[in-house]
Chain A
Amino acid sequence: MNLLSPILLSLRVAVLATALTLAIGLGLARLFASRTVPLRRIWESLILLPMVFPPTITGYLLLVVLGKRSPVGTLLSQLGLSVIFTWGAAVIASFVVSLPLMFQNCKAALLGVDRQLEDAGRTLGLRESRVFLRITLPLATPGILGGTALSFARALGEFGATLMVAGNIPGRTQTIPLALYAAVEGGHRVEANILLAVTVVLSFAVVAVVSIYERRGSGSRRVAPRR
């Protein structure tokens, strides 16, 4: 059993999925936090569904949506793209299951920012985009970071949905959780323990990075008003 390939693959999938959830989750959170979206509750429930579903069900739905028989799958195959059984499918699976965590954290963080500070910026002539970038975003950073850490952890541990859409192909789509499962199933204790250790180290690393940035974030918040 090659152990390096699942580790590298898992890192690649988790990093890309987290970058994607950060961009889209933060965007959606800003949309829902800043204006009244029609049918807001329905949209939010849809985003949160993957948290309620068992991952296998999410995976099955993704398989149906991306599969050759669906409109999306037909469009993809006309473009010459086949997503099922690629590591791209693993990124999509991780993205979908971690989006709810990112969205909820970002939304809470944005709503938690003091409106008066934003208004103060506006009275001083800042455009809306600048208000968001210079005032709202820095103040919301700790919450956004928390969401990012949770999303990364969730993406790194993704199993059920990945198994359905990316398959469990050693050397191609077998991520750490899939390889770990195969190692335990096959009674390969040494490999299983190594993968377990790698997962623990990665988790500690994520927590460490986040807490460093959180400390810096709270530091800059104290300095901010003086600027």
Chain B
Amino acid sequence: MKSLAGVLAVSVAVAFGSAPCAVGQQTEIVVSAAASLTDVLGSLSSQAERVIGAKVLFNFGGSGALRRQIEEGAPVDVFFSASTEDVEALEAKGLLVAGSRNDLLSNTVVLIGGPQASPIDATTMANATDALRALLSGASVLAIGNPDTVPAGRYAVRALTTYGLFSIVKSKLALAGNVREVLQYVQNGSAPLGIVFATDVLAAPPGTVRQIYSFPESSLGDHPILYPVAVVSASKHKDEAMKMIEFLQGNAAREAFRAAGFILK
């Protein structure tokens, strides 16, 4: 028992010893951002810190979970969401600074296949519909995100419905827990076809998946894909938070977003 207590004492000491010592009183802002922005924002973080003169901490997660955290008073300064619904819910409760919202980015949903897939080259929606119908009828499985929880899945269902193709695929959908799972299914050949965001295709290792068709924005009806960013009302550093949003609208950020496959609004 004594030696066990010793091991415990040592490990607790190690644990405390490795605790980070308190950093000076530098201003810090927390940016809660959608998981799909992880890589691009990570690459911009040191630049952002230089421009706004404050330490920038990113908190990445699903937009719904990030919204819950803000509702419960988590110390967040900027909310960069992948869904308008979550931003609108917070706006309705007065939890976002009025007028600070900016619908910064957009994305497209695309049909993807394995490396051997050939792109559909269609100029009109009617041409595309025929080609898509042939392709989807012949496929065994179509992977999409679960439309109840995954925005990309919701958009996929909307686009397919607009094209009148949802009834064809309804019985052969493989529902994934998130959009990157869809990408995995197609990458490793578990599913011949899948629907993901254009930005996900760029994140896949080169040569593993091929974009077959990009659904036009008109196929999504009244719900375009938007990534709004806004300042949180409870923020104690609103100046820095505003500067962060300005930085995200600036040239350096726009370049990075474009390279990652986002569409700038």
Contacts and interface: CB of A to CB of B under 8 A. Distances in A.
B14 A64 contact: no
Contact of B74 (A12, A63, A163): A63
Nearest to B60: A168
Interface string B200-217: 000111000000000000
Contacts of B38: 182, 185-186
Contacts of A11: 14-15, 18
Nearest to B179: A185
Interface string A80-118: 001011000000000000000000000000000000000
B15 A12 contact: yes
B8 A164 contact: no
A68 B73 contact: yes
B69 interface: yes
Interface residues of B, number: 35
A164 B180 contact: no
Contacts of B205: 187, 189
A187 B38 CA distance: 11
A67 to B, nearest CB: 3
A182 B73 CA distance: 25
Contact of A167 (B18, B19, B61, B234): B61
A189 B180 CA distance: 13
B222 interface: no
A172 interface: yes
Interface of A: 1, 8, 11-12, 15-16, 19, 22, 56, 60, 63-64, 67-69, 73, 82, 84-85, 137-138, 141, 145, 163-164, 167-173, 182, 184-187, 189, 209, 213
Interface of B: 1, 4, 7-8, 11-12, 14-16, 18-19, 30, 32, 35, 38-39, 42, 57-61, 65, 68-69, 72-75, 178, 180, 203-205, 234
